[in-house]
Amino acid sequence: MSPTTQDIHPVCKMRSGIVCLCLLFGFVLIGCRLFYLQVLQSDAGAHQVKQQHQKMVMVQPDRGVIFDRHGHPLAMNVDVPSVFVNPDSLENPQKAARDLAPVLKMSVSQLREIFQRTQSRARVKRHIPEDMAKQLEAMKIPGVVVTRAPHRFYPKGALGSHILGFAGDDNQGLEGIEFHYESYLRGEENLVQYQRDALGGIILSLDRQDSMSLQAGYHVTLSIDEVIQFIAEDELAKAVQQSRAKSGTILIMDPMTGAILAWALYPTFDPNHFRKLSAKDWRNRAVTDPYEPGSTLKVIVAAAALEEGVMEPETLIYGGDGQMPVAGTIVHDHAKSSWMTLTEVVAQSSNVGVIKVAVELRRSRMFKYLKAFGFGEKTGIDLSGESSGILHHPDTWSGRSLSSLAIGQEIAVTPIQMVTAMSVVANGGWLMTPHVVSLVVDARGQSILTNDRQPKRRPISFQTARRMGHILEAAVETGTGKGAKLVGYRVAGKTGTSQKIDPETGAYSSSNVIASFVGFVPAEQPCLTMLVVIDDPKEEKLRWGGKIAAPVFGKVAKRVLPHMGILPGGAQLIRTASFSPNTSSLQAVVQ
């Protein structure tokens, strides 16, 4: 017999009460937990949520652009694509690996290994071509993401590469201007807060003010003229190849300011692909590698003699029929000569004659003028890795040293030292501090740094510089520098051919030489000083400074001068550098 309603009612009532009590107890527990989380632990909870959905990222601003003197970009930033993967989002990793392998030119096993990583965002390949990026985007594989980030790009390729240097993947300058002016070009890093999605990917910036307040890198303007740079590199490459030389250097300077107009080295390199090369390929030899200057140093010896009054341009010097005993050895000239003037000694590059000039100067004055012209010390150019060259103190000189120095031996100079020293004669007697950067500005165009004329000292007077200029004109018109002559322009300069040391014997080599020419033009109103150095030419007929380096000077100048607006038969005024004590500045004036 089934129970009546009266019989089961107490049981149901008891069970219902138990259920209600349980529910009530559960709600009380939930309420307490909510109270604990929402009230007592609100700050900790908010912090945890913030950590999960927000991220602080160190953001690097755009690197500054490097321009030539006319505002043409030589180093800039471009957005380069890279491909990443979110492994957790891949629906079919095996198929994705097979599909991506031929596009990315990677093996399936490589991709599978990347897909198995535990990180939420793994890089698959960096700096891929744009067409590859578009192909990947069109495939629309879930979890595969193509991003674009700024990368350093050199639009002119190898042009000016040894000056520019290069920057690495981490936006840090590694060589050249990129390295030396790193603190200006790089800008200031800043922490920016971003919102993240469930997979950890960045969605957007939460603090627009922070993201917009990044201090971008400053822009750098060089003193280099890209047209002059191209001409110098073009003619240098032809000369090195024609003479089958090891390497070559051309430096062109504005003698009045010390500004470098061109800095050409050959062989050169493309900074866009610097990883494929070694340090010897990108080393800036014009500041790091000293060489024996040979007869180009006779300019300094003659200028010192004129300044000290021990010689005049017309002073007669006996050539000894082209030979002279020195410290148990015989010094020879390339041609026999008897009596010569100082002008003829320099023009014909007589070793015997210049040694006799050095003997009149004696050790102390010889050393004094070599130092005054900047040898044995750094020029102070705004490039890293500069060498001081080699100039020993007279206390350590041997009985032959004075004679050796007179003909450019027992001394080592860098190309930048030599072109700066010749500029002393060109600008009227001032030793300038060379520079390759003329201006640094911020993103708004406000000037941050300006490099202008910076005279160090005055080794010789204006009168001595003018007389020395006439002597150097004779060296081009009638002497060893005839190859540098230009129709319609007056050229002043000096050739040099120095023997290299044979590393095996330790003696001067009879076949390995450095051929050079250093000069300025127009001689009456110098607008550029140029040094041409050809290292170890193998072509027998081109192993002399007058045969290979001087003609290169003429070819470069013939193309550069019209570009600078200097036409044949121009003004006959003498442009010289003069220092004003009142304004502490160097000015170009007409004397």
**In 3D, which of 293, 40, 68 has the Cα closest to residue 160?**
68
* 8-state DSSP, 468: H
| Residue 431 token pair | 């030793």
CA distance 33 to 115: 40
User: Residue 150: helix, strand or coil by DSSP?
Assistant: strand
CA distance 68 to 261: 10
Please, what's the largest Cα pairwise distance for the chain?
Answer: 155
CA distance 183 to 295: 41
Instruction: Tell me if 482 sits within 8 A of 476, measured CB to CB.
Output: yes
Amino acid, res. 345: V
Instruction: Using the CB atoms, write b or e for 425-464: b if 16+ within 10 Å.
Output: bbbbbbbbbbbbbbbbbbeeeeeeeebebebbebbbebeb
Q: Spot the catalytic one: 161, 223, 243, 295.
A: 295
* 8-state DSSP, 320: G
CA distance 577 to 454: 11
**In 3D, which of 486, 513, 484 has the Cα closest to residue 422?**
484
User: Residue 68: helix, strand or coil by DSSP?
Assistant: coil
Instruction: Using the CB atoms, write b or e for 86-109: b if 16+ within 10 Å.
Output: bbeebeebeebbebbbeebeeeee
* Catalytic residue check, 295: yes
Contacts of 206 (CB under 8 A, 6+ apart): 54, 193, 194, 195
**In 3D, which of 160, 265, 230 has the Cα closest to residue 534?**
265
**In 3D, which of 50, 70, 141 has the Cα closest to residue 104?**
141
Task: Indicate which residues carry an active-site annotation.
Answer: 295
